[in-house]
Structure 1
Amino acid sequence: MLDGKVVVVTGAGGGLGETHALLLAKEGASVVVNDLGGARDGSGANANMADQVVDKILAAGGKAVADYGNVAKEADAKAMIQRAVDEFGKIDFLIANAGILRDKSFKNMTNEMWDIVVDVHLRGTYLTVKAAYDQMIEQGHGGSIVVTSSTSGLIGNFGQTNYGAAKAGIAGFARCLFQEGLKYGIRVNILAPAAWSRLTEDIFPQGQGMEELLSPDKVSPIVAWLGSDDAKEVTGRTFLAQGNNVTLLSWQAHSLASKDNKEGPWDVEELGKTVMAQYEKWPKGPQPTPREF
């Protein structure tokens, strides 16, 4: 399905990024496997993570090269896209997947925890997408970009105000960018995955077979499809992927109070009563699951 395509996958040294890279290569793409090789919290670096994924692809007869750049550094982001061009002649598809966690209740969160998570997720997505987008425009034949959001940003999750803010920002960024990309044939879609990985192993319930039920390789098929020509009409969409289930997320507005705009503003008490008269009909919001930190 992806024969002749050139793909860059960030954060591809393990978890979702690894299964994305392996499937893309299996489907015929040439893959730049990017991973700084840091720990779950973003500390450190280790080239072995990207290298072991490249080795798997090559052993299976695929095409891949490793890249060890930091997505949050402009020079590294540009270099990883240029690596695709230098090694394989172009870039057709970017999956902005790299991420870290510094989970903490907001009361106990430090500025450093906030900054590094926003830096890697939001700035890292911006920088890699910017480099790929500019190259795709220069090439003149369009392309596909998938950014990685999360239900933490789209719905909310306890202990992840930093992560949720970054992931909500990524979704907003993509919903704006897809409109501009139409001019150049560049598609931009949003993935909100739920999968078992080193980032999520202490978030999902233990002892319920979640590691198998939510294995990351079950998310990767929707990503591969979004990079294919079969999905050339699909852009600006948000996909929730959990196990073998893919859901299209769309926003639904619920009218709570309305009167003719030619009239004066609502009286505050009257508005409150009008809104609360509908309260029992409101869609139920997310129910938080407190965690000990």
Structure 2
Amino acid sequence: MDLSGKVAVVTGSGRGLGLAYARALAAAGASVVVNDVDAQAAEAAVKQITEDGGRAVAEVVAVGTGEAADALVNRAVNEFGRLDVMVTNAGVLRDRVLWKMSDDDFDTVQHVHLRGTFTCARAAAIRMREQGEGGRIIVAGSPAGQRGNFGQTNYAAAKAGIAAMVRTWAMELAKAGITANTVVPNAATEMTKTMPLFAPYIERYEKDGTPFPDSLRKGVAFGTAEDCAGLVVFLASDAAKDVTGQCVGIGGDKLSLWSHPQEISAAYTDGGWSADAIAAVWPTSVGRLPETYGIPAPQL
């Protein structure tokens, strides 16, 4: 993929998945605005990219507000002359079960993930429409947003909302040649390192480079952050000009397409449905095969 002449912003790109995305975009020829709340991490990321021969600058700001989004877009335009790709990757976690989750736990995650994605995408769309040459909006989803996950009311709600926004933006921005897609990654990060299933594999990988086994790479679609970066480069490229409104999974050796919510069964009656009528037909009609929920437990 050749992204020469393209300019990208990647939020939360001081480390982890965001850093992998920023490095891959730069390696493909794009100029990159690295964003993080940690100035040291952002500058270190820029140093890595430039030492590899890429072009990058750091913009240290916490995403969420319109002002922060404008600062990111303005930095791209002032430094490199334009904006072609907005990748919203920044995020935080405040995991709690429902009855223990505080207002602040909920609001903080919504502010960074949902509002941060919205404000950055809005600022990018305004600039891209002004340029009149199309563009790419690539946002971070999660299996939790597609399926739900224990202890993640706030995170799952934000990620589900992000997927819904992308489906809306795909319609609204089509005339301007701007695509909008959700990446649903699964990789070794600081977050997944805290999960007992993945922790020992990640520790061995970080210690001596021990590869992840096929039971993870294929069976659970789990690998390195770098394994997920190719999808972002593809979606940023001209090869993906007709790909929009999609939720695309990536992890380890697996690439997948997530379905959109849709009706899967229906029943009809003359005059409408009473509660008793619904109860009578539910087990053998609409409710005969209820949908599953939650991220399936990995089988290793």
Q: TM-score, normalised by structure 1?
A: 0.89
Matched, 1:245 2:254: yes
8 A contact 1:30–1:88 mirrored in 2: yes
Change (3 A) 1:204 1:195: farther
Q: Which residue of 1 aligns with 2:142?
A: 150
Q: Which residue of 1 aligns with 2:195?
A: 203
Shift of 1:173: 1.2
8 A contact 1:257–1:275 mirrored in 2: no
Kindly provide the amino acid, as one letter, of the partner of residue 62 in structure 2: N
Kindly provide the amino acid, as one letter, of the partner of residue 20 in structure 1: Y
Q: Which residue of 1 aligns with 2:15?
A: 14
Give 3-state SS (helix, strand or coil) of 1:104's partner.
Answer: coil
Change (3 A) 1:267 1:75: closer
Deviations 1:156-191 (A, max 9, x none): 000000111111111111111110001111100111
Matched, 1:30 2:31: yes
Kindly provide the amino acid, as one letter, of the partner of residue 257 in structure 1: A
Change (3 A) 1:205 1:135: same
Shift of 1:207: 5.2
Kindly provide the amino acid, as one letter, of the partner of residue 293 in structure 2: G
Give 3-state SS (helix, strand or coil) of 2:79's partner.
Answer: helix
Change (3 A) 1:283 1:105: closer
Which residue of 68, 75, 79 maps to 1:83?
A: 75
% of aligned pairs identical? 40
Q: Within 1, Cα distance between the matches of 2:81 and 2:148?
A: 41
Which residue of 224, 245, 248 maps to 1:236?
A: 245
Change (3 A) 1:167 1:283: closer
> Which is worse superposed, 279-288 or 107-116?
279-288
Kindly provide the amino acid, as one letter, of the partner of residue 258 in structure 1: Y
Matched, 1:66 2:67: no
Q: Which residue of 1 aligns with 2:117?
A: 125
Which residue of 97, 102, 106 maps to 2:98?
A: 106
Which residue of 274, 284, 287 maps to 1:277?
A: 284
Q: TM-score, normalised by structure 2?
A: 0.87
Change (3 A) 1:281 1:136: same
Change (3 A) 1:257 1:121: same
Q: Within 1, Cα distance between the matches of 2:44 and 2:252?
A: 25
Give 3-state SS (helix, strand or coil) of 1:94's partner.
Answer: strand
8 A contact 1:70–1:77 mirrored in 2: no
Q: Within 2, Cα distance between the matches of 1:283 and 1:244?
A: 27
8 A contact 2:193–2:199 mirrored in 1: no
8 A contact 2:192–2:199 mirrored in 1: no
Change (3 A) 1:190 1:206: closer
Alignment of 1:184-223 (within 5 A): 184-203=176-195, 205-206=197-198, 209=201, 212=212, 213=217, 214-223=223-232
Which residue of 127, 130, 140 maps to 2:132?
A: 140
